[in-house]
Structures are given as structure tokens and as C-alpha cells.
Amino acid sequence: MALSNAEKVRRYRERKKAAKEAAPDLTANFIEGSFAEFVGENYEFEEWIVASGFQLPNCFAEEVCTFDVDDLTERSQSGKPSLERMEFLAGVFLNAATELHEKINAFKLAEIEARIAEIEQTDLSDAEAKSKALKDIVALQGIKSSLEGKTFRRSFAEISVKGSYSE
């Protein structure tokens, strides 16, 4: 049976999405600095993670971290009903994901800008070097534009209903 136009388009979009997800991160070749040094120990969500009953390892902010799960202890959410703890934890994870995305984005933008600055400072008297530099600048500007301009949304099932429906 022949595919309808809508089915062809749907399959095309699925293939395109799968190819994009399988593609490597374009910023990887341009990152030279350490993410741990860039961020430092400034993770605001850490106190929320600890408050929900998890303890992050001491090395959490380090570039390479190994940790012992026996070190986890319950904190301020202990003794609360399971549903309340899980709702709290869902909010914590959303906040943590938002903060991590912002920090990763800022780090990648800083690295891309550093590579652009390096290229601008190089000697471009050689035709081959100039050609490569221009090609790299175009690629870096495209990556920078994508990092600066895009956000994405995720849909989650509603878990909190507040207010009144009886009025």
C-alpha cells in the first residue's frame, strides 16, 4: 500500500530528528577550558537537592568526580508523605535542569567567543590561514547564533492543582 503524503512527511521528519540527535555536538571541537573552573562551586540547586534527602559528593563541582552512594542521608524532607516529597523533588529537578542548561550554555558561549577572539588575533597574511580562519569564523558565528537564540520546551504532566474549582 502506498504511503500518504502526511505519512511520508512524518517519516521524513522522524529521520531528520534522528539524524540530528545522532550528530555530534558542534561545540566540542572548540572547547579548550574546564567547565568545572568556569562554574566554580556555585550550584544554587545543591541546597535544594540536599533538602530533598540527597547529598551530593564533596567532589561534585570538580571536573572528575567519583562518589560513594553510602554517603546519602535524609534531610529536611524526611518524615513528609511520599507524594509531597516526590512533588518537591520534581520541582528541584526542573530547577536543577534549568540552571545546568544555563551554565552549560554560558560556558559554551564563552568558549566560542574565546575561539573567535583567538582567530581575530592571529596573523592572516597567509592565504591558506586566512581561508581556514574565515571558515572557522563562519562556523563559530553560526554555533554562537544557535546557542544565543534558541530555547526549547518540554511538556510535563500537571502534578499541582491549586486554587478553587468550586467558586
How buried is residue 53: exposed, middle or buried, by Cβ count under 10 Å (0-12/13-18/19+)? middle
In a domain, 4, yes or no: no
Q: Is 101 among the domain residues?
A: yes
Task: List Cβ neighbours of 43 (8 Å cut-off, separation of 6 or more).
Answer: 60, 61, 99
Instruction: Give me 127's grid cell.
Output: 592565504
Domain membership flag for residue 122: yes
- Whether residue 37 lies inside any domain: the answer is yes
Q: Cell 581556514 belongs to which residue?
A: 132
> Mapping DSSP to helix (H, G, I), strand (E, B) and coil, where does residue 134 land?
helix
pLDDT confidence of residue 70: 46
Name the strand (E) or helix (H) holding 51: helix 45-51
Dihedrals phi, psi of 4, to nearest 5 degrees: -75, 165
85 contacts 53 by C-beta, under 8 angstroms? yes
Residue 25 lies in a domain: no
Q: Is residue 117 domain-resident?
A: yes
pLDDT at 71: 43
Q: What pLDDT, on the 0 to 100 scale, is given for residue 39?
A: 66
Q: Is residue 11 part of a domain?
A: no
- 158 occurs within a structural domain: no
Contact of 92 with 75, CB cutoff 8 Å: no
> Residue 10 is placed in which grid cell?
512524518
Of the pLDDT bands very low, low, confident and very high (cuts 50, 70, 90), residue 17 is: confident
Instruction: Determine phi and psi for 124, rounding to 5 degrees.
Output: -110, 25
Highest mean pLDDT among 13-27, 68-82, 151-165: 13-27
How many domains are there within the chain?
A: 1
Domain limits for position 69: 30-149
Mean pLDDT of the chain: 77
Closest CA to 52 of 20, 79, 19, 32: 79
